[in-house]
Amino acid sequence: MAVSSRTRVGIVGAGPAGLMLAQLLSLRGIDSIVIENRSREYCEARQRAGMLEAGTVAALRAAGAGKRLDAEGLEHDGIYLQFSGERHHVNFRELVGRTVTVYAQTEIVKDLIAARLAAAAPIEFSASQVSVSGVTTDAPVLSYVDAAGVAHEVTCDVIAGCDGFHGISRPLVPGLSVYERSYPYAWLGILADAAPSTDELIYSRHESGFALYSMRSPDVSRLYLQVPAEEDLQAWSDDRIWAELQKRFGLPGWSVSEGRITDKSITPMRSFVAGPMRHGRLFLAGDAAHIVPPCGAKGLNLAVGDAIVLASALSALLVEGSPALADDYSDACLRRVWRATHFSYFMTSMMHVLPGDPFDDAIQRAQLRYVTSSHPAATSLAENYSGYDSPVVGG
């Protein structure tokens, strides 16, 4: 016999989308439960995003999760774009009056989990057999087996599918339209105990391939290399990685500072948008509905944006009995998602090298020349990178 309980919102997944939604609902006095199939340790250590739009920073502050972000986040005025042996700064603060902030997704997840636990609000890690039923009724059920092996059935008003790209929620939406693009390359990412030798991120297009210089703190660098899709991580010794990074970023008198590599992984690249993001009483948010390639740093920001829009929509629906925002949820999110999908595609296509394609090579360098020399073109890049049309908490 399963243990039965009731809450207003059942949230599947304790990534940024699910945790932010839970936090925003709790600030509005709406009860929820978060069910996660991985352990807390795993969720808090999973290396992913690092760059936050201005609107995401404001939203985390408004959600009461901005204290450590304000103390430890690294605020940047812009980014560097490097190509043909030149490095150009694109200054977002000057161009659009906004900045961006480096603060790792791992830290956001830790901060939001800590807030949830401090409020003694329900969150289950290491759950198994997670399933959702009855989403076209007004009492959908979230079922799972907890870490101790006890089965639970939680009757909810609404279910939020925040369970990432490989979750169980998206397949529950019938007649989904899917738009997809894969790219013939991947990113090899490393984390290194090395003080960054740059003050802001460098996106470098080199004839050997793209490279990104990012960071996590004044002592830790996060670096990425374009590698072929399906690349074998074993083919990349630490020495080979550093040599390739030095080559792709190197400028006369400047080099990458090296250190101990503490994490190494390969990420495939994909653009994916699925809609509608709602079926009955099931709402999808974040990577469960859309994926962007990481060049341009949009994925985490989109996930937080969905959570903000969904929290307002569910508050109107469940507290005021007004369905208008919930009915508009999918369209409102998809407008923002498609803008970011185009921007990520634009950045990815401009920066990555397709060997043996001289036309592509010339087009990319012409585009890079344009965005680093034309004020309107640089302004467009700055507007998109720093966050166009970000939703506002409580808005």
Residue ranges that bind ligand PHB, judged by CB under 6 A: 49-51, 201, 212, 214, 222, 294-297
222 contact, one of ligand RFL, ligand PHB, none, CB 5-8 Å limit per kind: ligand PHB
287 contact, one of ligand RFL, ligand PHB, none, CB 5-8 Å limit per kind: ligand RFL
15 contact, one of ligand RFL, ligand PHB, none, CB 5-8 Å limit per kind: ligand RFL
Cβ neighbours for 230, distance < 8 A, ≥ 6 positions apart: 186
36 vs 200 by CB, closer to ligand RFL = 36
Q: C-alpha distances in angstroms, 320 versus 94, 241, 394?
A: 42, 56, 14
Residues in 7-26 that interact with ligand RFL by CB under 6 A: 12-18
Catalytic pick from 16, 196, 293, 294?
A: 294
388 has catalytic annotation: no
55 vs 167 by CB, closer to ligand RFL = 167
Residue 155 and residue 10 in contact, taking contact as beta carbons nearer than 8 Å: no
Among 38, 87, 93, 264, binds ligand RFL (CB under 6 A): 38
Catalytic pick from 144, 185, 203, 213?
A: 203
Q: Give the β-pairing of 86-91 and 78-83.
A: antiparallel
Number of neighbours of residue 87 by Cβ within 10 angstroms: 15
87 contact, one of ligand PHB, ligand RFL, none, CB 5-8 Å limit per kind: none
Q: Tell me if 286 contacts ligand RFL by CB under 6 A.
A: yes
294 has catalytic annotation: yes
330 contact, one of ligand RFL, ligand PHB, none, CB 5-8 Å limit per kind: none
Catalytic pick from 185, 298, 352, 391?
A: 298
Catalytic pick from 76, 110, 279, 290?
A: 76
Among 77, 157, 200, 287, binds ligand RFL (CB under 6 A): 287
Q: Tell me if 36 contacts ligand RFL by CB under 6 A.
A: yes
Q: Tell me if 167 contacts ligand RFL by CB under 6 A.
A: yes
Among 158, 303, 314, 332, binds ligand RFL (CB under 6 A): 303
* Widest pairwise Cα distance in the chain: 70
Among 24, 33, 49, 225, binds ligand RFL (CB under 6 A): 49
290 has catalytic annotation: no
67 has catalytic annotation: no
What is the x/- site pattern for ligand RFL, positions 100-119, by CB under 6 A?
-----x--------------
Any idea which residues carry the catalytic annotation?
Answer: 76, 203, 294, 298, 385
Question: Under the rule (CB under 6 A), what is the footprint of ligand RFL?
Answer: 12-18, 35-38, 43, 48-51, 105, 130, 162-164, 167-168, 187, 189, 267, 286-287, 294, 297-301, 303
